[in-house]
Structure 1
Amino acid sequence: MNRSPILCVVGKKRSGKTRFLERLIPELKRRGLCVATVKHDAHGFDIDHEGKDSWRHRRCGADAVCIASPDKVALVRSVDREPAPEDLAATLLAHADIVLTEGYYRSGHPKIEVHWSGTHAKPLCAEDDPAQANVIALVTDDPVAVDVPCFASDDAPGVADMVCALFRL
């Protein structure tokens, strides 16, 4: 089975991960790639609101509920364990050329860390944390001495070049 490559965009809270993804995704799309994203939420979320038909379907026992409209589809499914990015990429996101995650910093997948000096003194990859072993680049507003390539926060084209070369996209 051909699996989509997974790249995790990680960083401390309020480091600019979403803002950077808002720059990187259009750059990858301009290159003709089908891009899927996964937002990791360690605290849980709810899009199935009480009283709505989909909520009522789940409340009465449906294991999965799919909501479809002419321009989008959403799936709500209970799981026994938190799905790994590779499980999502192989099933729900198999159509994508690349899967970008926001989060999953403890995964073994390649990671780009986003660091904003106005919020945190040093990036995760400068700390002695084995979970950061797969950081392949740092996107930052402040040059930091680390052993990976550094990119400015507005250099989505440079990061996209590196990503496309890494995954041969």
Structure 2
Amino acid sequence: MTPPIVSIVAKSGTGKTTLLEKLISEMKRRGFRVGAIKHDAHSFSIDHEGKDSWRLTQAGADTMLITSPAKIAMVRQNGDSEPVLDETVATYCRDVDIVLTEGFKRSSMPKIEVHRRERSATLLCRGERHDPTLFAVASDEPLKLDVPVFDINDAAGLCDLIDKRFLS
């Protein structure tokens, strides 16, 4: 069985990573096993030119793993298409209680949107378009919406909502 997925979405520079760090820390403090997936719309590389892992990937390895007693990392070539988020979670995150993602704003996964007044007057999920998967907003200003609005620093309150909605 795959774990529930909650996507943290926002416009660039709004604070998605900062909120995600707080949510992960709070969920771990509560004893949950947490997976995290970061969406990158561009090409990225975790390999560094000249390193053995980079050399193996450059040689044509379709999947290249680095293992140690502490962790494992994988570089897998996708070809021309990004894998579906559900499939990625089912393949790599079966051993966690919940997966928190950063990005995936166009997915059908439940979403929490991060809002900062100085970044934008409008929301992605309530404004430019109406996304029915939005279930909460973390904001630095009070907003009147059809979903709960939390202070942008209230990780505990957001985790209470996530726990009640997806884990209890």
**TM class, shorter-length:** over 0.9
Q: Which residue in the other structure is 1:86 paired with?
A: 86
C-alpha distance in 1, partners of 2:54/2:63?
11
* Number of the residue aligned with 2:144: 145
Q: Counterpart in 2 of 1:112?
A: 112
TM-score, L = length of structure 2: 0.94
Structure 2 residue runs without a partner (length 5+): none
- SS of aligned partner of 2:138: strand
In structure 2, distance between residues paired with 1:111 and 1:47: 27
Runs of 4+ in 1 over 4 A off after TM superposition: none
Pairwise CA distance, 1:120: 1.1
User: Are the aligned partners of 1:113 and 1:138 in contact in 2 as well (CA < 8 Å)?
Assistant: yes
Contact 2:2 2:93 (8 Å CA) reproduced? no
One-letter amino acid matched to 2:107: S
1:97 corresponds in structure 2 to 97
Deviations 1:126-152 (A, max 9, x none): 21425x221100000111222110000
Deviation at 1:26, TM superposition (A): 1.0
TM-score, reference length from structure 1: 0.94
Identity %: 46
Instruction: Report Cα offsets for 1:14-55 as digits up to 9, x if no partner.
Output: 111111111111111111100010010001201122221112
Question: 1:163 is aligned with what amino acid?
Answer: I
Query: 1:21 aligned to 2:20?
Result: yes
Show CA shifts across 1:101-140 (max 9, x none). 000000001000000111111221221425x221100000
Amino acid aligned to 1:33: F
CA distance in 1, matches of 2:64, 2:38: 20
CA distance in 2 between partners of 1:22 and 1:50 (Å): 29
SS of alignment partner, residue 8 of structure 1: strand
Tell me the number of residue pairs that the alignment of Structure 1 and Structure 2 aligns.
Answer: 167
Q: After the TM superposition, which residues 1-169 of structure 1 pair with which residues of structure 2 at under 5 Å, given as runs?
A: 2-80=1-79, 81-130=81-130, 132-169=131-168
Give the RMSD, CA atoms, in angstroms: 1.2
Q: Does structure 2 conserve the Cα–Cα contact (< 8 Å) formed by 1:6 and 1:85?
A: no
Are the structure 2 counterparts of residues 125 and 60 from structure 1 closer, same or farther at C-alpha, using a change threshold of 3 Å?
closer
* CA–CA separation in structure 2 for the residues paired with 1:23 and 1:111: 16
Deviations 1:52-104 (A, max 9, x none): 11122122221110011221111000013212221121011111110000000
| Structure 1: segments with no counterpart, 5+ residues | none
